[in-house]
Amino acid sequence: MAGQGSLGNRLYRGEVSFQIVARRRRWGAIFGLLLLLSALGLGVRGLHFSVDFKGGSVITVPSATLSSDQVASIAQADGVPAPTVQVQTIVGGGRQVTVTTVTIPSATRTKLTADLAKAAGIDPAKVTVEQVGASWGHEISTAALQALIIFLVLLAVYLAIFFEWKMAVAALTSLINVIVITVGVYAWSGLEVSPSTVVGFLTILGYAMYDAVVVFDKVKENKRQLVDQNKMGYGPAANLAVNQTLVRSVNTSLIALIPVASLLLGGTVSQAAVLQDLALALLVGIGAGTVSSILVATPMLVWLKELEPSVRAQEQRLAAKAAADRKAGKVPAAVAVTESADPQDAKPVATAPAAGPRGPRNQPVRNQPRSKRR
């Protein structure tokens, strides 16, 4: 932790710098490939929606011996197409087998329930049957889509008011990357999309924007203190902002991912589908959101800002001045960041090269009589 803190301080002061903004084409190519793969997965494999979205029946049989193969064979013999069978261990003891089917006639459902109870050796009344209509799943999908649209609109308005519209565009671009990549993971993996997945998915949207807003706030501060004072161009100032917040972003994400990974592990061990669906969406979303906010949001912002003639002219002017100073053998003034108790209170200052030793005529003489000070 001490080494990490030292690295964070050096990144904040600008002594060490990762060239993130300068390599934006590389990050753009990588994320473009990920988006293409996600789109292919969505088009080729599609999403596997749970019964809550498609409609159907969920039959739960308490049994300590009934296997998933036996249940699948019974369901297929009763004319149920492609049943989904899950064996779950109940917390606190017990075991149950859950059969999920598409919408089937009531007579078929009654026969399947009786056959499963007979195979498990229990009373048919102990078998739980839940019927889910497709209309309810449609309502969930519509509500989720509406929530997503409202969130994106409010986010764009907030960033445009408190920052600027180009930051809103860059943040939304980063968020779209997170959405598409998360959907692509579910498409290629064939994992089931349930209401719990939607809850986790909507949760990560706000979290994915947290890092981007933190970086943009630092970009805004560096612009006021460095760019507007003609000490640094917009691109280098934005890259400095990413480096200054890099350690905090990584640490925040790791702290969030540890309990989520534990939740996913616990859901997998206990075969709790609800926990698995929720934790996996959070895990993928938080990871993709952190990386996207670092490698997509700020480089996209710099690209948009460099379309402004004034920004390009300032960067060219500063670059020409630095080249001229190097050619003349001058050491340009360095931009340093003073440390304080709170890094947020740190302010950049210009440090000039140290002056050479004073000559005898300029050297003050102390502790001598006034008559000899000449």
Q: pLDDT (tens digit, 9 = 90+) per residue, 220-278?
A: 898 888 888 888 888 888 998 888 888 888 888 888 888 888 888 877 776 666 777 77
Say if CB 225 and CB 348 are below 8 A apart: yes
Q: Over 25-49, what HEC string results? A: HHHHHHHHHHHHHHHHHHHHCCCEE
Identify the CA nearest to 242 among candidates 34, 28, 29, 22. 22
How is the chain split into domains, by residue range? 2-49+136-310, 56-132
Give the 3-state secondary structure of residue 262: helix
The span from the CA of 85 to the CA of 101, in Å, is: 9
Residue 356 has pLDDT above 50, yes or no: no
**Long-range contacts at 317-324 (CB < 8 A, ≥ 24 apart):** 318/230, 318/232, 318/233, 319/233
How far is residue 126 from each of residues 59, 67, 194, 363, measured CA to CA in Å?
11, 18, 26, 100
In CATH, the number for domain 2-49+136-310 is: 1.20.1640.10
CA distance 333 to 348: 12
Regarding beta strands 56-62 and 95-101, do their DSSP bridges make them parallel or antiparallel, or are they unpaired? antiparallel
Which of the four pLDDT bands, split at 50, 70 and 90, describes residue 37?
A: very high
Q: pLDDT over 90 for what percent of the chain?
A: 5
44-56 average pLDDT score: 81
Structural contact between residues 240 and 14, judged by C-beta atoms closer than 8 angstroms:
yes
Q: In this structure, is the dihedral angle defined by the CA atoms of residues 49, 52, 54 and 57, taken in order, positive or negative?
A: positive
Class of domain 56-132: alpha beta
Q: Max Cα separation, the chain?
A: 121
**pLDDT digit string, tens, across residues 127-152:** 888 877 766 667 777 887 888 788 88
The first and second tokens of residue 152, run together, are 């994106």
**Least confident piece of the model among 63-72, 238-247, 334-343:** 334-343
The three-class DSSP label of residue 104 is coil
3-class DSSP state for residue 2? helix
Inform me whether the pLDDT recorded for 98 exceeds 80. yes
Give the model's pLDDT for residue 36: 93
pLDDT at 111 over 80: yes
- Rounded to whole angstroms, how far apart are CA atoms 7 and 61? 56
- Residue type, position 257, single letter: L
The predicted model gives 207-216 an average pLDDT of 82
Cα–Cα distance for residue pair 64/56, rounded to 1 Å: 25
Q: How much is the pTM?
A: 0.71
Average the pLDDT over each of 68-77, 185-194, 201-210 and give the range with the smallest value.
201-210
CB under 8 Å to 371, separation ≥6 — which residues?
none
Cβ atoms of residues 156 and 12 within 8 Å: no
pLDDT band at 331, cuts 50/70/90? low
Mean pLDDT in residue range 179-186: 87
Q: Same fold for the domain at 2-49+136-310 and the one at 56-132? A: no
